[in-house]
A = this chain, B = another copy of it.
Amino acid sequence: MVQSIDLPRNESGIATALGVLKQQFGDRLHTGQAMRNQHAHTTTWIRPQAPDAVVFPRSTAEVSEIVKVCATHKVPVIPFGTGTSLEGHVNAPAGGVSVDLTQMDAILAVHAEDLDCVVQPGVTREQLNTHLRDRGLFFPIDPGANASLGGMASTRASGTNAVRYGTMKDNVIALEAVMADGRIIRTAQRAKKTSAGYNMTQLLVGSEGTLGLITEITLKLQGIPEAISAARMSFPSIDAACRAVMTTIQYGIPVARIELLDELNVRAANAYAGLALPEVPLLLLEFHGSDQSVREQTEMFASIAEDVGGTDFEATTSTEERNKLWQARHDLYWATLQLRPGAQGISTDVCVPISRLADAVTGAQAKAAELDLLSPIVGHVGDGNFHCLVLIDMEDADEVARAETFVAWLADEAIAAEGTCTGEHGIGQGKMPYLVKELGATTEFMAAIKGALDPQNIMNPGKIFSR
């Protein structure tokens, strides 16, 4: 199993920086063990590595002050949003200061006429959507957890709506960030298009805090659709379900969500949410548009899916029924953990071209069976992205070893299928070896950029690159 690696600590620098920060931030700098442990918490199997202190800035200027102090004393700076990242992103392998951005949670502007808004990084996606609802607007990116928008930008998050609305890559217009020397930059203006130099916005989106700390985000918004319809359909096999997905995408049906649950997930959802879905592969869908367009999309999908053997089609425009369906989807992580109480879930995150999806999912099922692992699969299949949640007993060394074999095999298979080891979770500490397998020499140019923008390697060290 890939484990987090401890990096050399700069003890004297850390001590000095903490002293300076204590003077500046008083009781907003915390060094108690409980607070430190909480900021190393990851919803993953990666071992926690607590920072030396946690600080709660309230402004970009304060973030800049923190980074300047850390730069002066060569101390790591680890940004923290809600701690829901999955690959050890908030760990502190060389110690240092966790910068908790939850107090920077202001929605600074909503430009309804431009379909954009400007937020601080601690704003969560649910907070933003609650704020926007009365304006008839919404922010579509939905990674499941109620993550902070700064964290979502940092990991290039996506989720269930990405098939229609794209990922954070497609929805961040501009960023303000504090760079490794404490300087504050703005990566772009608020115009929808730009060819003004290098795309610093997209360089920072997905950089996991390793190049700069995001302090403000300009996001694209969407109008709440006139009509929303949800649907579900059962399939005799994963292959049939994947064929339905592929044809739906090829036909250009602008489906807003198209999620696959394998039979194990359906069983878990039935048990957890008291549903009675047929325990075979299931697609959950959502359609957005005008009344007419939603009706048309729903009918087209049903017809496509029936052609490949889909059954038990149900569609609804009732908000209540729709929410029930999607609540079951969002609770899947917890539901599947109940398939084996006490087990630890290891989430994988491969993404392949959609033509390779059926083979990839059925291959993963077969490999898990071969290794005698319980590994339900759920997928944002319109994008070719799926997660195997391997449920293992961490005390069983043999099982851990088999899980390690599986995770590595899956990454290799995805890469061989022209896919990626991570569709939306990021590299963090967990996927460094796969990144090199996937992109080879390209990672050396990434490291050169890291070296140029953060020569002291203080910005979230030990993530993406193993140093």
Contacts and interface: CB of A to CB of B under 8 A. Distances in A.
Interface of A: 111-116, 155-158, 162, 166-167, 169-170, 179, 183-200, 202-203, 205-207, 211, 222-223, 225, 246, 249-252, 290, 292-293, 296, 349, 351-355, 380, 383-385, 414-415, 418-427, 431, 435, 438-443, 445-446, 448-449, 451-453, 464
A114 B355 contact: yes
B199 A250 contact: no
A113 B186 CA distance: 39
Nearest to A174: B418
A158 B431 CA distance: 35
A201 to B, nearest CB: 8
B355 A440 contact: no
A42 to B, nearest CB: 16
Contacts of A225: 252
A185 B452 contact: no
Contacts of A448: 452-453
Would you list the 10 A-B pairs with minimal beta carbon distance, nearest first?
A: A452-B452, A202-B202, A190-B418, A113-B355, A191-B351, A223-B252, A191-B419, A194-B420, A185-B442, A114-B353
B195 A423 contact: yes
B423 A193 contact: yes
B452 A186 contact: no
A4 to B, nearest CB: 18
A463 B186 CA distance: 21
Contacts of A349: 195
Contacts of A292: 292-293, 296
Contacts of A211: 198
A200 to B, nearest CB: 6
A415 B445 contact: no
B423 A351 contact: no
Nearest to A442: B185
Contacts of A449: 198, 203, 449, 452-453
Contacts of A158: 193
B189 A199 contact: no
A203 B199 contact: yes
23 contacts: A112-B250, A114-B355, A115-B249, A157-B195, A183-B441, A185-B441, A188-B420, A189-B420, A191-B353, A191-B385, A191-B423, A194-B420, A194-B423, A195-B424, A196-B435, A197-B435, A197-B439, A197-B443, A198-B464, A199-B205, A222-B252, A223-B251, A449-B453
Contacts of A452: 448-449, 451-452
A140 to B, nearest CB: 12
Nearest to A452: B452
Contacts of A438: 189, 196
Contacts of A170: 166, 170
Contacts of A441: 183-185
Given A246-B113, A292-B296, A446-B198, A193 B167 contact: yes
A53 to B, nearest CB: 27
